[in-house]
Amino acid sequence: MTTKINPNAATTPAQPPNSKRKRALAILAVVVVIAGFAWALWYLLVARWHESTDDAYVQGNVVAITPQTVGTVVSIGADDGMKVDAGQILVQLDPNDARVAYEQAVANLASTVRSVRGLYSAVEAGQADIAARRVAVEKASADVKRREGLVATGAVSAEELAHARDELAAAQAALSVSNENLARNRALVDATTVIDQPQVKAAAAQLRQAYLNNQRTAIVAPVSGYVAKRSVQLGQRVQPGTTLMTVIPLEQVWVEANFKETQLAKMRIGQPVQLHADLYGDDIEFDGKLSSLGLGTGSAFALLPAQNASGNWIKIVQRVPVRIELDRKQLAEHPLRIGLSMHADVSLRDQSGAVLASKPEDKALLTTDAYAKQLGEAEALIQKIVRENLPRGRG
């Protein structure tokens, strides 16, 4: 067997292992430099203009449904998860007691109006009586003067003159009594109409209260939303202020994100926020806007605030709640529930906003007209009762 010898084998030197290591280290160094440069570029262009947190949760208005009067529950109109509209009856209390009180108030107002009509009539009668009394005084005064001229001639006796003077005094006293009675009756109705007379106004106020108590036996929803935490049961005797259920308007929810205090330096009101809910994952992105920065840390408003002035102290980075408004249209397409976890990423590029609100709101943030019609209906009823009890058109 013949063995071939490579003539170049003896002349090619073996590559030292150190050169391979140097080449690997050089490649690694280049990679590290490129990665560092890329990270620095990413930080300067992107990262330093964003702050994010996973400590964010959905919050919202939880409207407690409470009775305004005492009563026994006779019907329940909504249960957990149901959609309700503002003004819809949620719970009905037994209306019998309130209805009886209302009917008594109606009768009392009608009776009061008729009594006040009597006061106006008494004033008119008093004026007529005074006119008659004045005629009587003038007649008695003329009789006295005539008799005083005849006493000297003997045509009239002194006794007859004395009787005439007594009649004049009696007529003057009767006129004085009539004037006092007129003044007393006029004080009750002077500068008023029937509807403005104090007794009628007091009876009307009693009717308003009775009407409202009767209306309030039907407990209505102050806002539109979804029912949660129904605790009321049929036959339950409820007191004013007892929470029967809650209504949550899901279109009004917001996100409360708890950022570290070291993340707040560049945050301003109005900055855009990108949010993701654990419910929908990264597929659904919510657009938000930073509406307010908290005025205290979570520990500052805790039931038992931390007492760092005593004992050993360990510094802990505090978190401040930041409120984020959500887009109503996106909420309608992808509803959120209160308490859901969110991821919030705030863009800090826009630094034109304020850290604190610059001026107070000039209008109410939340309103309801679910109870507005009740008093208006009571006013219409009062006017109707007054008209029905004024056959002569006074008022």
Q: How far apart are the first and last CA of the chain?
A: 142
What share of the chain has pLDDT > 90, as a percent?
47
pLDDT (mean) for 118-139: 76
- Residue range 109-118: average pLDDT? 86
Q: Could you read off the pLDDT of 60-82 as tens digits, one per residue?
A: 999 999 999 999 999 999 999 99
Number of Cβ within 10 Å of residue 203's Cβ equals: 25
Q: Where are the domains of the chain?
A: 97-197+373-388, 250-304+313-371
- Look at residue 127 and tell me whether its pLDDT is greater than 70: yes
Partners of residue 344 on adjacent β-strands: 53, 275
Question: Per-residue pLDDT for 131 more than 60?
Answer: yes
State residue 288's pLDDT score: 95
Query: What average pLDDT does range 110-117 have in this prediction?
Result: 86
pLDDT of residue 8: 53
Q: Name the CATH topology of 250-304+313-371.
A: Elongation Factor Tu (Ef-tu); domain 3 (2.40.30)
Residue-wise pLDDT tens digits, 362-393? 888 888 888 887 788 888 889 898 888 886 54
Q: What is the reported pTM? A: 0.72
Q: Quick one: average pLDDT of 345-359?
A: 90
- What number is the average pLDDT over the span 23-41? 86
**pLDDT surpasses 70 at 220:** yes
